[in-house]
Each structure stands twice: as structure tokens, then as C-alpha cells.
Amino acid sequence: MPESTFLENFEYQTPGVWRRMACWLYEGMLLFGVVFIAGYLFGTLTQTRNAMDNRHALQGFVFLALSAYFLVFWTRGQTLAMKTWHMRLVDKHGSLITRQRALLRYVLSWVWVLPPLALAWAAALPAGVQALVFLLWVAAWAGSSGLAPQRQFWHDIVAGTRLVHYKPPEPSGKSPSA
């Protein structure tokens, strides 16, 4: 069955918040590799010898590398972490999202990290308190999805996207191994 037909006939269920957060954590582990490669590439291309040299340019480069990663995978429906956890990103009609919608979702998704980072910077909080503020913010933001329509995250609602349960159909004609 073609994928587009499958998506049209699929009943959309929102994955539970614990499953979405497990996917989020797994995505973070995968992003470590993306950030490492982007940082290595930047350092090599700019011949940066000290991590504090070109710091803002490196941050911008990593931001662009992350945006490229998410735009490529989201417009195809799912990242590796989403595939592992049987989730798919669709628009409100159940179709794959456009690049513009993926870019909007990427920018809006920074609400997961920017508010606690801004607070930590403005208040000059010690590292342990910064980590606690970050964890409390993430828990509050994730928990607030229970108040949202269809239990979606707020940035998804604003971006017009949805995370849905998705497990592709098994290939026909193959019997399971015994």
C-alpha cells in the first residue's frame, strides 16, 4: 500500500507524553553527534584553535546545522528517534509538512530551552541551579500538553503540526520468522 494512501486512512493518535519525552531524550543523544560533527567541521574550516575564539560564529553554525537536520527529516515525516519510537510529524490534515512549516516548528521548539537559559544567564545562577531550572521548565512545558487540544505540545499547535503514533504496515507476503 503506498504511504500516502496509508496516511490518508490512518486514525491519528497522539503518543503519550512519556513516550514523546523518551523520544525527545533519544533525539538529544543523536543530536550530540550532529553537534560534534558541526563543531569539528567549523573548527577545521575556520582553523579555530581555542574554543572561545569565534564562539558566536560557532553557535550560529551549530544552529544552522541543527535546523538543516530537522528540516530534512521533518519534511520526510520523522527523525531517526521518531522512527524508533513509532511517531510521525504531520500537519493538521495528516500530510507531510512543508519546509516553511518545519522551519516554523524548529524556531518555535526553542521554547524548550531558551527561557531557562535566559533566566540562568540573567540571574547568574550556579550550574546546579541552572540544571534544576532547566529540568523544571521542561517538565512544566511537557506537562502543559495535557491542557492542550489533542494533548499536543504548544509549539506544535502554533506551527500547525502534530506528533502522531505511526507504525508502517508490515510488508505483505512475508511471514514472521519462527
The pLDDT, as a whole number, for residue 12 is 75
Q: Which tens digit of pLDDT belongs to each residue from 34-60?
A: 999 999 999 999 998 887 888 999 999
All cell numbers assigned to 88: 510521525
Provide the H-helix boundaries in the chain: 3-8, 17-46, 55-75, 80-84, 99-108, 114-123, 127-143, 154-159
* Residue 173 predicted with pLDDT over 70: no
Between these two residues, 11 and 74, which has the higher pLDDT value?
74
All cell numbers assigned to 32: 550530540
Q: Do residues 104 and 159 touch, judged by C-beta distance below 8 A?
A: yes
The full set of domain ranges for the chain reads: 13-165
The pLDDT, as a whole number, for residue 4 is 47
The pLDDT, as a whole number, for residue 52 is 83
Name the 3-class secondary structure at 12: coil
Q: Which tens digit of pLDDT belongs to each residue from 114-169?
A: 999 999 999 999 999 999 999 999 999 999 988 888 899 999 999 999 999 998 77
